[in-house]
């Protein structure tokens, strides 16, 4: 017997298949539990699809910045310790045993890390992996932060457990047990564990570590610190690195750590800079740029202005690289900020790259006032 293929018959067959599939899904017989694992072939197929997709979409990712920059590596490691290591482990630290029972289980990088190119790592960390629990970066506009994790992933296989702990926990590495999150900050002080978390990156003295990896927050205005920490916590200031520590601290502890850091002496080490650049920066800071409708920076960031309005930040003695990155982030629409940041958005938008470099260098070189 022969069955003639007609469009009508093909249509009926397809409809029957779809209906059968829906009936099977409705019956509840398909097992979605994570116990038992995938068949070998399913595992292979899913990973093959993921690898192909990453390879294709990574073609549109820009060339990486200098991934050997120690500051980039330190920022990436600081985040990795709390944002990635619980799922993926780290040199000398196994992954949390709970996640080994998810399907697919996150690969344990303390054992093995596949060889992806920097752009492919970027694609995975920026966008996550669908159907697997690998999260996307919470602030996609902060591509610089994603690159800091790529720098860490590139270095990870060659880091010793000791090097990793220093990079991830800073001075707190010496205070806490390996594998635990830093948490030994004075049992009588409710902000103790929170301060220990902040200190992994900013140190307890607020001066940071690893060059200009982290902004100097010692001696910053307390009102600005609290305003900006709340903005990180609820996502109005965009940072996938700062949002988690600010959000998990809770408001009471944020008040306490803002007061702590505001009370620390500011003792930055100004980097040498070209005198001509400094002169250009000083003119912008003192006089503004009338032709571009840029007001004098010191009208808001000078000593008198800060006495009038302590919720604005002081910039003197801050790392030039940090100041420059903030101005560039506003220009790219990636900064956000506290309750008054729109004022600053308007100013930043009017500066050229040269002017950003000059004025950042001048505030950094201004020393402590
Ligand atoms: C909730 C657990 C979880 C967290 C947190 C997590 N991941 Fe993943 N990650 C996964 C899972 C699951 C996979 C496997 C995806 C697959 O193979 O389809 C994965 C895959 C990866 C891969 C590809 C590994 C390979 O060779 O197949 C990289 C790289 C990666 N993650 C990096 C990171 C980084 C960096 C972070 C922190 C910013 C992070 N992950 C946070 C669960 C997680
Ligand atoms: C994993 C490292 C890390 C941890 C932990 C961390 N920070 Fe930060 N912090 C950063 C980075 C990186 C930036 C720069 C963010 C940016 O580029 O927008 C930053 C920025 C800040 C700023 C903004 C400085 C300014 O001049 O506007 C403040 C304030 C701050 N952190 C305070 C804290 C406090 C308080 C804690 C603890 C609750 C904390 N940080 C925990 C890395 C960290
Ligand atoms: C009208 C007042 C005003 C003027 C003028 C002004 N700023 Fe600001 N600036 C602010 C405010 C308010 C903030 C805090 C934004 C926030 O909430 O994050 C800020 C923040 C900044 C920051 C980020 C500091 C940090 O720690 O993250 C930089 C950098 C900065 N300003 C540079 C400048 C420069 C350079 C000029 C001059 C070209 C300038 N500002 C002029 C009001 C001003």
In a domain, 83, yes or no: yes
Query: What tens digit of pLDDT does each residue of 97-154 get?
Result: 999 899 899 999 999 999 999 999 999 999 999 998 999 999 999 999 999 999 999 9
In a domain, 89, yes or no: yes
More confident residue, 68 or 187: 68
- Which of 142, 169, 196 is where one domain is finished? 169
In a domain, 6, yes or no: no
pLDDT at 234: 95
pLDDT band with cut points at 50, 70 and 90 for residue 174? confident
User: Rounded to whole angstroms, what are the CA distances from 136 to 139, 152, 158, 235?
Assistant: 9, 17, 25, 15
In a domain, 314, yes or no: yes
Domain extent at residue 192: 183-262
pLDDT at 284: 97
Residues 247 and 305 reside in one and the same domain: no
pLDDT band with cut points at 50, 70 and 90 for residue 268? low
pLDDT at 273: 84
pLDDT at 180 over 50: no
Give the total residue count for the chain: 369
- Which of 262, 284, 313 is where one domain is finished? 262
46-56 average pLDDT score: 96
Residues 153 and 211 reside in one and the same domain: no
pLDDT at 182: 38
Residues ≥6 apart with Cβ < 8 Å to 305: 298, 299, 312
| % of the chain surpassing 70 pLDDT | 94
Give the mutation target among 152, 166, 215, 312 for probing the ligand 2 site: most ligand atoms within 8 A of CB: 215
pLDDT at 61 over 60: yes
Distance 95 CA to ligand 1 centre (A): 12
Distance 124 CA to ligand 1 centre (A): 8
In a domain, 21, yes or no: no
Residues 97 and 195 reside in one and the same domain: no
Residues 165 and 49 reside in one and the same domain: yes
In a domain, 213, yes or no: yes
| % of the chain surpassing 90 pLDDT | 79
Give the mutation target among 221, 228, 301, 335 for probing the ligand 3 site: most ligand atoms within 8 A of CB: 301
Residues 142 and 71 reside in one and the same domain: yes
- Which of 210, 230, 262 is where one domain is finished? 262
Distance 137 CA to ligand 1 centre (A): 11
Residues 99 and 161 reside in one and the same domain: yes
Distance 97 CA to ligand 1 centre (A): 15
Pocket flag, ligand 3, residue 54 (CB < 6 Å): no
CATH of the domain at 210: 1.10.760.10
CATH of the domain at 159: 1.10.760
DSSP string, 270-320: PPP--HHHHHHHHHHHHH-BGGGTBPPTHHHHSHHHHHH-TTSPP-TT--H
Question: Shortest CA distance to 151 belongs to which of 209, 89, 69, 87?
Answer: 69
Residues 57 and 158 reside in one and the same domain: yes
In a domain, 82, yes or no: yes
Question: Average pLDDT of the chain?
Answer: 92
Considering every ligand atom, which ligand is closest to the CA of 80? Answer: 1
């Amino acid at each position: 017997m022969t069955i003639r293929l007609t469009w009508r018959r093909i249509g009926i067959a397809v409809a029957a298949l779809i209906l059968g599939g829906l009936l099977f899904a409705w019956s509840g017989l398909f097992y979605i539990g994570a116990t038992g694992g995938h068949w070998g072939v399913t595992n292979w197929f899913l990973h093959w699809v993921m690898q192909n997709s990453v390879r294709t979409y990574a073609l549109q990712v820009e060339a990486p910045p200098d991934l050997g920059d120690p500051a980039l590596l330190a920022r990436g490691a600081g985040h990795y310790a709390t944002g990635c290591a619980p799922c993926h482990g780290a040199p000398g630290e196994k992954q949390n045993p709970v996640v080994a029972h998810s399907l697919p289980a996150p690969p344990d990088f303390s054992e093995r890390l596949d060889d992806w190119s920097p752009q492919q790592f970027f694609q995975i960390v920026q966008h996550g992996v669908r159907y697997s629990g690998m999260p996307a970066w919470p602030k996609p506009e902060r591509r610089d932060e994603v690159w800091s994790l790529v720098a860490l992933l590139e270095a990870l296989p060659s880091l010793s457990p000791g090097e990793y702990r220093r990079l991830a926990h800073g001075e707190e590495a010496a205070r806490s047990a390996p594998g635990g999150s830093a948490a030994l900050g004075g049992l009588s002080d409710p902000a103790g564990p929170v301060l220990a978390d902040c200190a992994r990156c900013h140190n307890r003295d607020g001066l940071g570590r690893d060059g200009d990896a982290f902004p100097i927050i010692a001696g910053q205005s307390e009102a600005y610190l609290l305003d900006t920490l709340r903005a990180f916590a609820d996502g109005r200031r965009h940072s996938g690195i700062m949002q988690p520590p600010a959000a998990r601290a809770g408001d009471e502890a944020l008040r306490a750590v803002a007061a702590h850091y505001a009370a620390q002496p500011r003792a930055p080490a100004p980097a040498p800079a070209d005198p001509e650049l400094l002169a250009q920066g000083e003119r912008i800071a003192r006089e503004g740029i009338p032709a571009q409708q840029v007001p004098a920076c010191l009208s808001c960031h000078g000593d008198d202005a800060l006495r009038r309005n302590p919720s604005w930040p002081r910039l003197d003695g801050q790392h030039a690289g940090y100041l420059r990155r903030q101005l560039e982030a506003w220009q790219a629409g990636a900064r956000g900020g506290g309750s008054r940041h729109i004022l600053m958005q308007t100013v930043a938008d009017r500066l050229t790259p040269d002017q950003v470099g000059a004025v950042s260098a001048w505030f950094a070189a201004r020393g402590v006032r």
